[in-house]
Structures are given as C-alpha cells and as structure tokens.
Amino acid sequence: MEYIKAALIGLIQGLTEFLPVSSSGHLVLAQQALGIEMPGITFEVFLHLGTLLSVFWVFRERIINILKSFLALFRKSEWARFSSSGDRRFGICLIIASIPTAIIAFLLSDWMEKAFDTPLFVGIALAVTGGMLWLADSLPGGNKDIAKTSHLDAVIIGVFQGIAIFPGISRSGATISGALFRKLDKRTAAEFSFLLSIPAILGGALVEVVKVFREGADAAFNWLFYAVGVSVAAIAGIVAIRFFIRLLVRDRLRIFAVYCWIISIIVICITL
C-alpha cells in the first residue's frame, strides 16, 4: 500500500509539474481531498529531482549544446564571436530569467508557505491560471526564436515564473503565457519554459535540503519507496512534456484553461 501511495504522488507530481495545471496546487488538493499526506520534505526533494530528470532527457541535445557553447569560451578566439552562438544566447537568457524568479521567491516565501495551507487560495489561483492560458491561446502566433529573444523578454518571463511559486499558479502555464505575450514562437516558448524549470527546481530542492538538515532527516529511509516515487514522476514528466508541446503547437491551451476553471469552481464551492 505504501508503494502505491509513492506511485500516486509521483504520478501527480510528474504530470502536473509540466502540464499547465499547477503541481503544487494539485498536491495540496490531493492531500485535502484524498487524505494523501506527503511522507516528508526529503521525499519532496526526490520527487523534484525525478521531474528534473524528465527535462534533462527530453531536452538533452539542447542542454548539451548550451554547455558546449559555454565551455568553448575557454578558447580566447571564441570571445570574439560571443553573441553569435544561439545556444550561448539561450543559456544567458535562462540565467537572466532565473534572477527575478529567485528574488520573488525570496521576498514572498512566507506568504507562499501560508498559501499551501489554504485550499481556497489554491482554487482562486487555479482560476487565475485558467485566465492566463485562455488569453495566451487567444494571441496571434509570435515569430521570435531565441535569436530574437531580448534580455527584457527573459526578465518578464522570469517574473511570470516567480508568480508561480504560489500553489494553484502553474509554473509552465505562467512561463509559456509570459513567453507568448512577448511574441516568442510556440516551440521556442515551450523549450524556454521547460529549460527554465531546471534552475527553479534545483533552487527549490536546495531550499528543501536545507530544511531537511535543520529539522533532521527521516530516521527510516526506505530506498524502494523513494525509487518508486522518483521513477513514476520521471516517466510521467516525460509523457507530460511531449504531450503538452503537441497541444501547444496545435493551439489547444484552452483545454487546460477550462480544466483549471472546472477544478477551481469545485474547490471554491467545497471550501465555502
């Protein structure tokens, strides 16, 4: 029974981390509606690392190319063509976008923790997510690839991601909406959004690791339980990323908007 619980939590985390429906919001609702309790902070860290594996796997070629572009700077001759590398520009934009996210997360961390204990807040936030997705899907297609993406674009997308620290606001939904508002083409918007999750997830995992050391790690560490949760989260994440990109390119964001609104109405009605 415990392993089924690990698989269920991993499935919820993996699917909702990358579909624009808010993973944190769904985990809060799962705990409230199904009586599923998170086994502890350590397990949350492992689940986040599982979803991180999904991003690394799906976008492994782009990630390798970005790393190679920065490693090439060890050659002095490469500095003369610093801005000509599209992969290096992609990496720089990801770094820039991560800065406002980190600042917002630091400033609003106390409010965020309170929001996790408030299902009504999650319901309202899901309605906001639905609104963002509907508006983004209504926009005419943008034409900016990464070569045309400005540093200001990256900052604004990072702000959208920062807002998504609250449960109910989808990280992928917010960042892709921000990218579409800034006229990025849909494939670039999706790739940028998912790669931007790497520093966000690593940063969140680091914060949780610090909490683990402060509060003390769980005495009984069941490796198989953790392995089940991480494996399911990673596999579900891969499926979710590929599925979402196909729907995004086909202008199907409104499906997720309607879903968020339905869940929002149900949560608000039950809470009130």
Average pLDDT over residues 181-206: 89
Q: What is the pLDDT of residue 81?
A: 77
Q: Is the pLDDT assigned to residue 202 strictly greater than 70?
A: yes
Q: Which residue has the higher pLDDT, 270 or 264?
A: 264
The Cα 171–Cα 48 span in angstroms is 13
Distances (CA, A) of 73 to 94, 96, 147, 262: 18, 19, 19, 50
pTM: 0.85
Confidence class for position 85, pLDDT limits 50, 70, 90 = confident
> What pLDDT is recorded for position 221?
61
Q: Is the pLDDT of residue 11 over 70?
A: yes
In the predicted structure, residue 93 carries a pLDDT above the cut 90: yes
- pLDDT for the residue numbered 94: 96
Flag the least confident range among 65-79, 165-179, 215-229, 233-247: 215-229
Confidence check: pLDDT of 242 > 80? yes
Q: How far apart are CA 26 and CA 5, in angstroms?
A: 15
Domain around 157: 2-73+81-271
Separation of CA 237 from chain center: 11
- Worst-scoring range by mean pLDDT, 43-52, 84-93, 94-103? 43-52
Range with lowest mean pLDDT among 56-70, 197-211, 215-229: 215-229
Between the alpha carbon of residue 136 and those of residues 88, 101, 252, the distances in Å are 27, 20, 11
Q: CB-based contacts of 93: which residues, under 8 Å, 6+ apart?
A: 146, 149, 151, 153, 154, 192
DSSP state of 184: B
- What is the average pLDDT score of the chain? 85
Provide the 3-class DSSP secondary structure of residue 208.
helix
Kindly state the average pLDDT of the residues 32-52.
Answer: 71
Q: How far apart are CA 203 and CA 230, in angstroms?
A: 18
Contact criterion met (CB below 8 Å) for 18 and 241: yes
Q: Is a pLDDT exceeding 70 seen at residue 164?
A: yes
pLDDT band at 33 (very low <50, low <70, confident <90, very high): low
Query: Which is higher by pLDDT, 95 or 219?
Result: 95
pLDDT of residue 79: 81
Q: Compute the distance between CA of residue 260 and CA of residue 193 in angstroms, rounded to an integer.
A: 19
Distance from C-alpha of 34 to C-alpha of 111, rounded to nearest angstrom: 25
What is the reported pLDDT for 217? 54
Q: Is the pLDDT score of 160 beyond 90? A: yes
Mean local confidence (pLDDT), 229-243: 94
Number of domains the chain contains: 1
